[in-house]
Amino acid sequence: MGIRRTLLGSAVAVAGMAGVAGYAMAAEVTVVCGSVGQGAKLCKGAATEWAKETGNTVKFFAAPASSTEQLALYQQILSSGSSDIDVFQIDVIWPGILGSHLADLKPYSNGAEDMHFQPIVANNTYKGKLVAMPWYTDAGLLFYRKDLLEKHGEKAPETWGDLTASAKKIQDAERAAGNNKMWGFVYQAKAYEGLTCDALEWVDSFGGGDVVNADGDITINNEKAAKALSLAASWTGTIAPSGVLSYQEEDARGVFQSGNAVFMRNWPYAWSLGQADDSPIKGKIGVMALPKGGEDGKQTGTLGGWQLAVSKYSKDPEAAASLVMHLTSKKSQKQRAIEGSYNPTIAELYSDADVLAASPFMGQLKDTFTNAVARPSRATGSNYNKVSNAFYNAVHDVLSGKTEAEASLAKLEKNLKRIKRKGW
């Protein structure tokens, strides 16, 4: 920041505090951005900057690290109509759940949403209102051990079939060589939201759709989906440890980063940790989009990421929206991309020289984000969690060998119809 801007900023701040200038009355905005850690630090910096520029004040609310706890807390606060928190950080699947309590940001955005990835903007539109601005994004990726693939003469897998074969081959060879802790593939298969993400990728890559389509029709009970899940079920206990059925992101990373897995499905965050100085696999990691289902399948990844939203009950929605616009602006997103490797939601930034210099890896991700598949949160609205719960439990049953894929999907379809009986 240049000296001039700092000076200007503080001048405005002084004016705002004194309440002399023709500015609107200084407002106090309470914002949730991150828990305790790196992300929160970056957010605080940017929000404080906004406060200085506008003469308002910001208060920070530290949210629980677990997103389920966050959602529960927000629902409690919002459903009571409290104005304690003005700006919320919300997960990509929450606009439908919290939408009725959030303010429309269109009047304040001046069209800023047009430069963001459009699928995310569409995701954040609830009943015609823009209820949240995209903040940063995420998508599932395939991490692999470059060195092991090379050593055993395998190339990066094109399809899930290739992955299954390479994983098996390398796992067996490595075990024969004495590394009996080696596994082929680790992912997230505990019965929780993460399994919905993983399973959606398998199903979608086979062309089996996205559980509930954009029109709200239940599409999951199809052959391709069954094929995808049957393949995934064959991994449990063969190329993946049977413990994978209780793995979340960190469990998978723990195994992969200790050098005990050839492939891993995870979010981009695992990259920088795997490349840290104390990591045994530093410099040996490759990253790519997830494999296709088959020859006619497609590469895909489940869309993740966070948005910023303004509470409908905020006492000063204008100031709150202005803060949201500031935090999601190109400038703030660029800073977050450079200092914290948060993936921007603004397409332009993926060709920005400064961003690419700081994390060369980000350039590759743009395609993944544009091809990403969204969970059916928009079509199912406030029923999304029920749908997701039914889906991951059905998948978990298949993976643990309790039911066959076809039977499980038929039962799932019936369950989803029950949930839909009064409409989504």
Give the footprint of other proteins on residues 64-83 (CB under 8 A).
Answer: 64-69, 71-73, 75-76, 79-80, 82
The nearest distance, CB 239 to other proteins, in angstroms, is 14
List binders of other proteins among 84-113 (CB under 8 A). 84-85, 97, 100
Is the Cα dihedral 224, 228, 231, 233 positive or negative?
negative
Residue 354 burial class via C-beta count within 10 angstroms: exposed 0-12, middle 13-18, buried 19 and up: exposed
List binders of other proteins among 403-422 (CB under 8 A). 418, 421
Tokens of residue 311, six digits: 């509470």
Which region, left, alpha or beta, applies to residue 127 given φ > 0 means left and ψ of -120 to 50 means alpha?
A: left
Q: Is 385 in the site for other proteins (CB under 8 A)?
A: yes
Is the Cα dihedral 300, 302, 306, 312 positive or negative?
positive
**What 3-state DSSP class applies to 141?**
strand
Nearer to other proteins, 186 or 319 (CB): 186
List binders of other proteins among 147-176 (CB under 8 A). none
Continuous segment of H or E residues that includes residue 240: none
Nearer to other proteins, 322 or 341 (CB): 341
Which among 111-119, 158-166, 241-249, 316-324 is the span making contact with other proteins, rule CB under 8 A? 241-249
Q: Is 39 in the site for other proteins (CB under 8 A)?
A: yes
The nearest distance, CB 89 to other proteins, in angstroms, is 10
How many residues in the shown chain lie near other proteins by CB under 8 A?
Answer: 73
Q: Is 62 in the site for other proteins (CB under 8 A)?
A: yes
Exactly one of 269, 288, 356, 358 binds other proteins (CB under 8 A); that residue is: 269
Exactly one of 12, 15, 24, 35 binds other proteins (CB under 8 A); that residue is: 35
Q: Is 229 in the site for other proteins (CB under 8 A)?
A: no
DSSP letter (8 states) at residue 275: T
The nearest distance, CB 188 to other proteins, in angstroms, is 10
Q: Is 257 in the site for other proteins (CB under 8 A)?
A: yes
Q: Is 190 in the site for other proteins (CB under 8 A)?
A: yes
Q: Are 302 and 139 in contact (CB under 8 A)?
A: yes
Nearer to other proteins, 80 or 110 (CB): 80
Q: Name the residue among 234, 89, 212 with its Cα closest to residue 167.
A: 234
Q: Name the residue among 151, 133, 125 with its Cα closest to residue 89.
A: 133
Q: Is 8 in the site for other proteins (CB under 8 A)?
A: no
The nearest distance, CB 198 to other proteins, in angstroms, is 13
Exactly one of 222, 238, 371, 389 binds other proteins (CB under 8 A); that residue is: 389
What is the DSSP secondary-structure string of 56-112? -EEEE-PPPSSHHHHHHHHHHHHHTT--S--EEEEETT-HHHHGGGB---HHHHTTG
Which among 6-14, 117-125, 212-220, 273-281 is the span making contact with other proteins, rule CB under 8 A? 273-281
Residues 265 and 144: their CA atoms lie apart, in Å, by 9
Q: Is 48 in the site for other proteins (CB under 8 A)?
A: no
Give the Å distances, CA to CA, from 19 to 12, 30, 56: 10, 20, 11
Q: Is 192 in the site for other proteins (CB under 8 A)?
A: yes
The nearest distance, CB 264 to other proteins, in angstroms, is 12
Exactly one of 11, 18, 36, 122 binds other proteins (CB under 8 A); that residue is: 36
- Alpha-helical regions (H) of 177-316: 193-205, 223-235, 249-257, 269-274
Q: Name the residue among 128, 35, 56 with its Cα closest to residue 317.
A: 56
Q: Long-range contacts for 47-50 (Cβ within 8 Å, ≥24 apart)?
A: 47/323, 47/326, 47/327, 49/1, 49/9, 49/326, 50/322, 50/323, 50/326, 50/327
List binders of other proteins among 199-228 (CB under 8 A). none
Exactly one of 246, 351, 364, 370 binds other proteins (CB under 8 A); that residue is: 246
The nearest distance, CB 178 to other proteins, in angstroms, is 16
Q: Is 179 in the site for other proteins (CB under 8 A)?
A: no
List binders of other proteins among 310-349 (CB under 8 A). 340
